[in-house]
Amino acid sequence: MMQDDRRPFARKLDLKNGQVDMSHGSGGKAMAQLVEELFGAAFDNPLLARRNDQAVFDPPPGRLAVTTDSYVVSPLFFPGGDIGSLAVHGTVNDLAMAGARPLYLTAGFIIEEGFALRDLARIVASMAAAAAEAGVAIVTGDTKVVERGKGDGVFINTTGIGAVPPGVAPSGDRARPGDAVLVSGFVGDHGVAIMSTRENLSFETTIASDSAALHGLVAAMVDAVPDVHVLRDPTRGGLATTLNEIARQSGVGMLLDERAIPVRGEVAAACELLGLDPFYVANEGKLVAICAPGDAARLLDTMRGHPLGIDAAVIGTVIDDDHRFVQLQTTFGGKRIVDWLAGEQLPRIC
C-alpha cells in the first residue's frame, strides 16, 4: 500500500480505548503521531508548530527567570485539578515568586507503558487549558515511555522562562526584622484534597485543591509594592517549612499569630482526623509575602483586591533571632515553635 505523505498516519490515535506502548517513545512514527495528534494539537502555538527540537525566540528586555519542576503526584486526578494543570501552575508560580511574568514553558513527559491514551489526552487538555489561562506558551517538549511497572502512570517535568520587571527583586534572603509576613489565603487545601482520595485514608470532604497560577496576583502586588522583600509559594512542607526556609536564608526569626492564619474548618477537621498539622500541608495556589512594615497595609489591600488573594492576611512579623526559630503565639495563649517538617508527614494514631 502506498503511503500518502500528506496523511502520514494510517489511523488516528485511539483516544478512547488505546494505550501508550513502547513505540510511542521510540522516536519513530508512533511517537511522531502522538506528538502531532495529542501534544501538538493541544498546545498549538507558532513556536511549537515549527516542530524543531528547540524553540528559538528573541529575549525580552531586562532580566530573565528560569525554573524547573517535576510532577509525580498520586493520584493523577484529584478534586480541583490534575497532574497536567499542576505542572503548569507549579512552574508558573515558581517564576512568579521572582516577581516574573511567565513567558514560555517546556513539557517533558515520562509515561508508563500501558497508560490509557484517554487519560493522557485528559491531562494534556488540562495542561493546555491551564497554560492558555495563564497566558504562557508550551513551546517545546519531550516524550519518553518506560516499561510497565517502572513509572507511576505519568510523570511531567516543566521548565519555565519569565521576564522580571525592573526594580523587582524578591528573594528568600531579604526578610528583615520588623518586616510583615503575609499569606494570600487559606492554607492546606491542596494536601487535604489529595489525601482525601488516597486509599486507606478515605474520608469525604468538599475541599478541592487550590491549584492556581499566581502570576496575576504577583503582578498586582509588585505593581503596588515593587520592593516586596520575599515571595514564595508554600508547596510541599506547607507554610511552616516555607517560613523556616526563609528564616534560615535571611538569618532571622519569625513570630506568628495562630489566630491570624487562615485555615478552613474542613481542612482543620481533616488534619485533626489524620493527626496532621495544616501548617505542614501542601498548597498549590497560595503565596507567602514579606515586606517592610510600612508597605504591609498597601500590599494586603492589593492582595485582597485580587480574586486569588481575597482571604489574604498578615500572619506575623520577622524578628531578630540567631536561632532562626519560627515561633507561634497559639490561640490558646501559649507559645511554641513551628519547626521544619521532619521526614514525610505521615498520618498517625498517637
Partner 1 sequence: MRYVDEYRDGALASRAAAAIAAEADPGRHYALMEFCGGHTHAICRYGIEDLLPPNVSMIHGPGCPVCVLPIGRLDMAIELAMRPEVILCTYGDMMRVPGRDRTSLMKAKAGGADIRMVYGSGDALRVARDNPGREVVFFAIGFETTAPTTAVALVQAAALNLRNFSVFANHVLTPSAIQAILDSPEVTATGTVRVDGFIGPGHVSTIIGSAPYERFARDYRRPIVVSGFEPLDIMQSVLMLVRQLNEGRCEVENQFSRAVSRDGNGKAQALVERVFELRDSFEWRGLGTIPDSALQIREEFADWDAERRWQLRYVPVADNRACSCAQILRGAKKPLDCAIFGTACTPENPMGSCMVSPEGSCAAYYLYGRWRDIPQQAKAG
Partner 2 sequence: MCLALPARIVEIHSDDSATVSLGGVRKQVSTALIEEPAVGDYVIVHVGYALSRLDPAEAERTLALLAALDRPAREQEPEQEDAAA
Among 152, 266, 311, 321, binds partner 2 (CB under 8 A): 266
Q: Tell me the window of 66-74, 98-106, 246-254, 267-275 that interacts with partner 2 (CB under 8 A).
A: 267-275
The partner in contact with residue 332, picked from partner 2, partner 1, none with C-beta cut-offs of 5 to 8 angstroms by kind, is partner 1
Euclidean distance between CA atoms 110 and 246, whole angstroms: 32
Contact 327, 337 (CB under 8 A): yes
341 secondary structure, DSSP code? P
Please, which residue, 203 or 340, has the CB nearer to partner 2? 203
Euclidean distance between CA atoms 203 and 271, whole angstroms: 11
Q: Tell me the window of 133-141, 175-183, 196-204, 287-295 that interacts with partner 2 (CB under 8 A).
A: 196-204
Contact 229, 170 (CB under 8 A): yes
Euclidean distance between CA atoms 45 and 47, whole angstroms: 6
Q: Is 54 in the site for partner 2 (CB under 8 A)?
A: no
CB atoms within 10 A of CB 292: 15
The partner in contact with residue 205, picked from partner 2, partner 1, none with C-beta cut-offs of 5 to 8 angstroms by kind, is partner 2
Q: Are strands 77-78 and 81-82 parallel, antiparallel or unpaired?
A: antiparallel
The partner in contact with residue 204, picked from partner 1, partner 2, none with C-beta cut-offs of 5 to 8 angstroms by kind, is partner 2
The partner in contact with residue 59, picked from partner 2, partner 1, none with C-beta cut-offs of 5 to 8 angstroms by kind, is none
Question: What secondary structure does DSSP assign to 46-60, as a single string?
Answer: HHHHT--SS---PPP
With H, G, I as helix, E, B as strand and everything else as coil, classify residue 345: coil
Q: Which residues bind partner 1 (CB under 8 A)?
A: 200-201, 265, 268-269, 272, 274-275, 323, 325, 327, 330-337, 339-340, 342-343, 346-350
Please, which residue, 71 or 280, has the CB nearer to partner 1? 280
Site of grid cell 505542614 = 280
Taking alpha carbons only, the member of 70, 57, 346, 315 closest to residue 187 is 315
Q: Is 206 in the site for partner 2 (CB under 8 A)?
A: yes
Among 70, 197, 205, 249, binds partner 2 (CB under 8 A): 205
Please, which residue, 50 or 335, has the CB nearer to partner 1? 335
Q: Report the interface residues with partner 2, using CB under 8 A.
A: 202-206, 265-266, 268-270, 272-273, 275, 348-350
